[in-house]
A and B are shown apart, each in its own frame.
Chain A
Amino acid sequence: MQKVQFKVNGETVRLTAEPHWTLLDVLRSELNLTGTKRGCEMGDCCACTIILDGRACNSCLVLSGELDGSSVLTIEGLSKDGGLHPVQRAFVDHGAIQCGFCTPGMVMSTIALLNRDPNPSEDEVRLRLAGNICRCTGYTKIIEAVMAASKAMRGGDGIPK
């Protein structure tokens, strides 16, 4: 076991972890933050995407020992005051959700993408979200939601008419 200290959703967390535990294990089992989903544990599906020090990251591929001093944002950290983040709002309004299992990872990847590039083209969005697998929707509405969120975050409303 090893001691690690890092931030999750702005709060400092101190815990002892087995070195082989992943960030995904720590979030789900130790911190009960089950919004981050376990889809493949091989870095293939991106259902477990979180934002680690500003970058989208598969939490199943990060070992607990790497966490010391880092800052993690999960889906639970987005809407603290009860309101939805513009990306969450856009996913709801554009019907970009079916079973919902990929949704938290998809939302986190989108936020990381828009934080780095607030005005991406549709092709860029498709490329940057290509790792996030959705089995139900076929992506069309997800892309629409991301484009609308990008517009909303830049000042337009982006709400479907």
Chain B
Amino acid sequence: MMEFNAIGKRTSRIDAVEQVTGRAQFLPDLKFPNMLYGAILRSTIAHGRILNIDTRKAERVPGVKAIITSLDSPTACVGFYMGVANKECLVSDKVRFIGDDIAAVAAESQESAQEACSSIKVDLEPLPAVFDSEEALKPGAPLIHDDSPGNIAGEIHKEFGDVAEGFAASDKIFESSYITNAAAHCCLETRGVLAKVDAYGRLTIWSTTQIPHVLREMLSMVLNFPVGKIRVRIAHVGGGFGSRQSSDPIDLICAMLALKTKRPVRLIKDRIEEFTTDRSRYPMIMTLKTGMKSNGRIMVCHADILTDAGAYHDQGITITGHALSRIDHCYRIPCAKMDAKVVFTNKVYGGAFRGYGNPQITFAIESQMDEIAEELGIDPLELRIMNACHEGDVAVSGARITSCGLTESLNRGASAAGWEDKRGRSNKHGIGMACFVHSGGGGAWAHGGNFSSAFIKVEYDGSVDLITGVPDVGQGSKTTLALIAAEVIGIPVADVRVHSGDTGIAPVALGARGSRETFLGGNAVKLAAEDAKRQLQSRAASILGVPVEKLGSVQGRIFVKSQPAKFVTIAQAASKTMHENASAFPMGVPVIASACYTDPVSEMVDLATGHGNPCPTYAFGTQVAEVEVDTDTGQVTVLRVVAAHDVGKAIITPWQSKGSWKDRFPRV
């Protein structure tokens, strides 16, 4: 086992003192001179045609500086996938859900902005609305988008292996449907944005985003504004959970207000707006038809999903696709068929939410595993162990399982929970389990690659500035990346300053999403830090008069390994001053390093067949829950949950990893 000096050592988060003293500035804490306050007028009906918008009364509200409607707004639509985006920032012809964006105001105070909003007169002709995904598919259902006949937002059809043969070879076929609901992320900080235009017409956006570079791309495409004239930054961000990697027109509306008024504009959703208008988890109706051998072997699975997209596109198709891809990753399945329809309804539209479709499909798969176990008379633990994936497996869809602790997590989870003793003990007392597989390290399928970059600047006092495209939205990536830089360069973590979430200084990065921050961002930081360390050691080698290979770097010193007392400080190596009086003129040639890391494993999935290895790694786990049922009221009390997760090696911040599962199981 390697010895480490920074990683793996218990460290407080590097931003903990800011947070605990209230000095950490979140978006609503940012204020600029001359700043205006924005508000959005939203639809009060679920589906309706806009006949007229009269802003005359609103314009007379004292303090109002700008009112914009679709007439002032670009025709381009916004969505996470710009190729299919169909959400106008401010709607022109129809409203499609309660909360749809109709007009926006910038005013000298929040109160004026709100008063002006409520003074805008909108004539709406109500249209029949549809709120149920199955109803939306029926002939004669209200049509929500003229260019989406049958309200179909998208379809997925994939088949791997000989599915007909799989069913023919099965002894018993199980078919059931499972339904999940929409859910709100409920970030403690609501979504907000602050837009500012400089003297050269360049736009700076502070946003509560998980994806600064992707947001910059959206702004550029929708506003038809060069990327080089847009800078997207984050302040401290009060949680994301996927909502802030989903699109919302608020960033674009705020930018339009700032461009129109030439003044800074801040626009923040209040809690009711957040609940009623922000992206939600996609509700799914999932039908699983699974063919089994009577000995418990899975022969085939046909999954069919109906996803309720809500009123507009965001990530309904990819999230449904990600859910489907769980089908053959957790258990060994020789053949699988995957079908899905994503449909529009007149409800708030969905977006990314922790797990990206995985909680939905895992609920279905694991519920059916229990039904199968009961019907076949096999212990649910044994059924899962019998079918579990193993290291070295290649799923029928092409995913390469290079490490897999699923069987171990099943055995250890069951043993810690007392599975054998407690199972079937009493009819009021139950114990159950579920497994999961999740993709890790992001993936190549959503962008042109799977990568991250880092810049490192070593100051002449031996401290380091680390610039990364990975935004810290509360998950703690600044601390993780600082630990990696400190470990490699050989300095205390307190000497690393992390600058993150700013497209003005960081190279293109894919954002805080898809469990990619530590894997991609961390490897980029490691590469850049190794370069900085090489440069520092080569300077130290010439000062000390020994070859580089004989040097080590630790705790701010570069020392001769055979004679640790012989050393120079990192500061001495970093300060390559040419002046004789180094203490009076310490500034010299700086040490700077940069690196880009590209994930070498994942591959672009074949678009025609859906075959490929989309992610660099897959994580597995088992949770066992013990519950008690009050047979008078039906109330279920969770007595205990055991979580046994295969986390790979939690070597950077093991204490954080330990906490996060203990904490998260009730709140995915």
Contact = CB atoms under 8 A, between A and B. Distances in A.
Interface stretch (B552-560, B566-574, B611-619, B658-666): B658-666
A84 B19 CA distance: 12
Interface residues of A, number: 45
Contacts of A98: 239, 474-476
Contacts of A32: 31
B655 interface: yes
Given A98-B474, A138-B662, A138-B667, A84 B271 contact: no
B663 A47 contact: no
Interface residues of B, number: 44
A2 interface: no
Contact of B188 (A88, A91, A101): A101
A92 B18 CA distance: 10
A76 interface: yes
Nearest to B188: A101
A97 B13 contact: yes
B29 A34 contact: yes
Interface in A58-94: 74-76, 78-79, 84, 88, 91-93
B17 interface: yes
Contacts of A141: 659, 663
A100 B666 contact: no
Interface in B18-46: 18-26, 28-29, 31
Contacts of A135: 185-188, 239, 241, 667
B17 A92 contact: yes
B494 to A, nearest CB: 13
A42 interface: yes
B29 to A, nearest CB: 4
Interface in B402-457: none
B13 A88 contact: no
A112 interface: no
Contacts of A99: 187-189, 236-239, 473-475
B270 interface: yes
A84 B28 CA distance: 25
A137 interface: yes
Contacts of A38: 28
Nearest to B30: A34
Contacts of A91: 16, 20
Given A41-B271, A98-B474, A75 B16 contact: no
A133 interface: yes
Nearest to A106: B20
Contacts of B535: none
Contacts of B655: 95
Name the residue in B18, B29, B663 with the highest tally of chain A Cβ atoms < 10 Å from its Cβ. Answer: B663
A56 to B, nearest CB: 15
Given A98-B476, A140-B663, A133 B188 contact: yes
B20 A88 contact: yes
Contacts of A42: 271
Interface in A1-59: 28, 32-42, 44-45, 47
A84 B26 contact: no
A97 B271 contact: no
B26 A37 contact: yes
A99 B19 CA distance: 8
A102 interface: yes
A157 B10 CA distance: 17
A37 B24 CA distance: 11
Nearest to A137: B663
B12 A37 contact: no
A150 interface: no
B12 A84 contact: no
Contacts of A35: 21-23
A100 B238 contact: yes
B22 A104 contact: yes
B666 A39 contact: no
A34 B18 CA distance: 12
Nearest to B22: A35
Contacts of B16: 91-92, 95, 97
B261 interface: no
A95 B238 contact: no
Given A40-B271, A95-B13, A136 B20 contact: no
Contacts of A148: none
Nearest to A76: B22
Contact of A97 (B10, B20, B663): B20
B465 interface: no
A28 B27 CA distance: 13
Contact of B20 (A28, A45, A107): A107
A78 B239 CA distance: 25
Contacts of B241: 135
B25 A34 contact: yes
B15 interface: yes
B663 A139 contact: yes
A134 interface: yes
Name the residue in A34, A98, A160 with the highest tally of chain B Cβ atoms < 10 Å from its Cβ. Answer: A98
A41 B188 contact: no
B352 to A, nearest CB: 16
B127 to A, nearest CB: 32
B24 A100 contact: yes
Contacts of B271: 39-42, 44-45
A103 interface: yes
A84 B17 contact: yes
Contacts of A37: 26, 28, 188-189, 238
A93 B663 contact: no
Contacts of A88: 20-21
Contacts of B239: 98-99, 101, 135-136
A104 B270 CA distance: 19
B20 A92 contact: yes
Nearest to B24: A100
Name the residue in A41, A97, A99 with the highest tally of chain B Cβ atoms < 10 Å from its Cβ. Answer: A99
Contacts of A75: 21-22
Contacts of B538: none
Interface string B195-220: 00000000000000000000000000
B656 interface: yes
A138 B238 CA distance: 15
A41 B28 CA distance: 14
A44 to B, nearest CB: 8
A36 B188 contact: no
Given A107-B20, A140-B662, A100 B236 contact: yes
B664 A138 contact: yes
For the complex of A and B, list the 5 residue pairs with the smallest distance between their C-beta atoms, beginning with the closest: A35-B22, A99-B474, A138-B663, A101-B238, A100-B19
Interface of B: 10, 12-13, 15-26, 28-29, 31, 185-190, 236-239, 241, 270-271, 473-476, 655-656, 659, 662-667
Given A95-B655, A99-B238, A133-B188, 11 more contacts: A36-B22, A91-B20, A92-B13, A95-B13, A97-B20, A99-B189, A100-B15, A101-B26, A103-B19, A135-B188, A136-B239
22 contacts: A28-B29, A34-B29, A37-B238, A39-B188, A41-B271, A74-B22, A84-B21, A88-B21, A92-B17, A97-B16, A97-B20, A99-B189, A99-B238, A99-B239, A100-B15, A100-B474, A101-B474, A135-B185, A136-B474, A137-B659, A138-B667, A140-B659
